[in-house]
Structure 1
């Protein structure tokens, strides 16, 4: 069976006020192309479909449009679980309709998926058996069934359990790990030697590398588990929550697919991807990383030479098509009008941070040691220009200034003679 693992779509999320809808729609187009070209037979979405419990209507429409396309009218299996950002009932609301098309939508831990009718057509995806937090799925044209242990985001509230009566963080974390491990262990006997054995959940697993775009899933480290929580007889563990593509274990193979788009500048330079996994019972699991091209890259610019350097980079079309976090080094406060001009230079600027630095040149040190009334008009102009624009005036600007000074002197002379 060929499986595609993705997670953390976060439909409806903004980037410092910038709408990502176009990029999210492009990702779904690319995802559908991948599943067709790669002949994927089962798609697993490991939580955080939406960015909030009350997403905009267009985000819900995009989600339903996506899973309908992915299912290929019931010929391809699709499994979606709720993450910590999702409202569980919202994710599973369409389950009565979705299961007829081979789509499994699960919102809460310990939920029991719908089972297909006995007379369901064999040329469509069927759920042949199910129980609390697990189901067995048959995909047309695939010799082996898949048994999936599916655990949507298991907070204490969603589990409806008090996992620890202590406030000691270490004891809370251990109690949480043991409870999650038991949930999986209780269902691991559903795995068989002749089935493709999968686990999917939305968790923070110890050893995973975070980015700034994941809002906390736990207080301290209380809601974390160790990789040992997952059944040893699982072929693959498809996780959601961490936005960086990463593998945590080989036996079983435990992996985060990461988010399809970069959602904070802490992810600048990261390549986004989905994971393809080929599983045949009794054989070694094969995986392939398919990198995505649909999202706009996030880049950081550090302009240590002032606005002129930024203008040069824009003229060179550096990082064209990227969202830009600009760090601008200046030697004094920038005039508000000049700062507005800078913002209007490119719609790709998401953040502009000004960093005030002291000039360390001999010339600056000499000027700083002079009193204002000891400076020539040109020295005063240089200092003013450098402080306002964060760069030295070029020779043409100085020449123009000199002409204006001469003209002002001549005008003054005439007025004095009068």
Structure 2
């Protein structure tokens, strides 16, 4: 995965006397940002942005000088092969492959390393550098960023070439069994240099230890994709050392098929997620609760582990909707969902049960443990009212807690008992947590 620093600046929020003035100011501000970003794309400003820009230009100067030197001193393959790789590079470095994990790989990387292994560094430069420079127009990256990327990728290629030649590799010679080690070392050396430069860029925006930042960019952010990416690249380098141009096309088509497959898989995952979450609050819905009861609860029961269930109801939501409007009521539900999300355990499951009712499944804990979770939520809700148009709206909740197996033979029995405990809380004035034991 080729890495490059290109982050969009965040607008600064402001107060305006009217929506029209705010809208006009926002359009002007965005226009100014777009103009500024033609030079450099960064979240920084002032002196920090200047230092980052100097770093980008320094790497660009060294890398592009080396790029020109490599193009002059190393021969390119025939015109047809050069044109083919240039076109494939332009396409592939503009069509990243998104894996279901959310991580992206560039189909250009296997082609890049295959071009290096088969034809040498000059051909590899033709694959990647034009794409990086073209990002100035096609992706609206800052000019400094584009030059930095072109320079650092050239330096990364040079490192891979140096390691390969040290191991006895020469361009154009078909790979043998022993060359697999050389190929992996070439990929590794490219990655190390690429991520060293990226780490240097990231440290300007997120000051931390160099080691931690490098570990994050090199491994943590890429661990789900490193295996697939390395495998594809090794296959591409070996295949292209024997088959030439046909192999480049096969690799390109193969990665594009992978891209299409992952688009379908991501769409399936997204549709499944949407069917199991509440669109207003973003928490799980009743369908997910039922699925959890059918699939996960039997495993819990087999281990004879308890499971507490909390039933939560927002007091007087209808009155809030009537007085302040449904949008404020929706805002309250979203705010409450976030409050509850921050105050449950990592293994707990929060779902909107319908209307102003929520349910929390607490596997591995009894009613007393569920009561403590409810107390924590109630305390946080009372201290964090919803603020709108200079009006504070208090979060008043009624909570009921029951647990399996103490209060029912099935999860649905326990839910009913928690619901009854919640209504007992309402009858006693609300803003309290009631246990099913008190029914």
- The TM-score with structure 1 as length reference comes to 0.26
Larger relative strand fraction: 1
Larger relative helix fraction: 2
